[in-house]
Chains A and B, each alone.
Chain A
C-alpha cells in the first residue's frame, strides 16, 4: 500500500542555511501535518494544512513556513537554520476528519552543523 513519502531522508545543513522538506501524502488524504521530534523527545506538532489552506498551527518558529500544493503535497521551508533545529521532522496525512488515524512518513532527519 502507498505510504506517506518524505524527502529527503537525511539532510545536513550549516547554520544560517535554508532547508526545504517535502511530504507526499497517501492518495485521497487531503490533510497534512508536520511534526518535529528532537532527540529523546516526543513529536511536537508544527503546522497542518487542509485543502491547501493552513488549518492549525503549533509550535512552528517564525523562521519556518510551509504550504500545501494542488496535488496535496506539502513543503516545509526552514530558513536561518540553528543548531537546535536538528531533529527528525515527521509528516503525516489523513482525511480531514482524522477518522483513519494519521499515517506518518518515515521522517527527514535534519542535522544542522
Chain B
C-alpha cells in the first residue's frame, strides 16, 4: 500500500534558522508530490508541488523542495524561518491520474521569536 512518512512530528526552531522537513513515500509508480501548510485555525494551503521536470521546486513564502527519485524523498526546505512560519506541514502524494491524495502525518513547526 502507498504511504507517506514524515520524519519529524514536532520541530522547534529559532527565527532565522534553516529548516528541512523530511518526507519519504512508498510507491513504485509515477507520483505527484505536494507540500501543504496548515496555519492555526485555517485550512490546508498548497506550498508547492512537483509533477515532472526540475526536481528542485520553488514554492510560496520562500519554501523549496527537492525530489530525489532514488531515495523516494521530497524534503521541504527554507533557508531562514520566520515566526509566521509556525504551522503544521503536510507532505502528500497523489498517483498520476489518480483521485486520491495520501497525506503524511504532518510536522508541527514552532518558530521562536
Chain A interface residues (CB < 8 Å from chain B): 31, 33, 41-43, 45, 48, 50, 55-56, 58, 90, 92, 96-99, 101-107
Given A43-B44, A105-B43: A99 and B51 within 8 A (CB)?
Answer: yes
Interface size class for chain B?
20 to 34
| Contacts A42-B90, A99-B51, A101-B34 given; does A33 touch B43 at CB 8 Å | no
Chain B residues within CB distance 8 Å of chain A: 32, 34, 42-46, 49, 51, 90, 94, 97-106
The total of Cβ contacts below 8 Å across the A-B interface reads: 53
A50 lies within 8 A of B103 (CB): no
Return chain B residues, CB-CB under 8 Å to A101. Answer: 34, 46, 49
Residues of B with C-beta under 8 A to A99: 32, 51
B94 nearest in chain A by CB position: A98
Given A99-B51, A101-B34, A101-B49, A45 contacting B43 (CB threshold 8 A): no
Of A48, A58, A107, the residue contacting B43 (CB under 8 A) is: A107
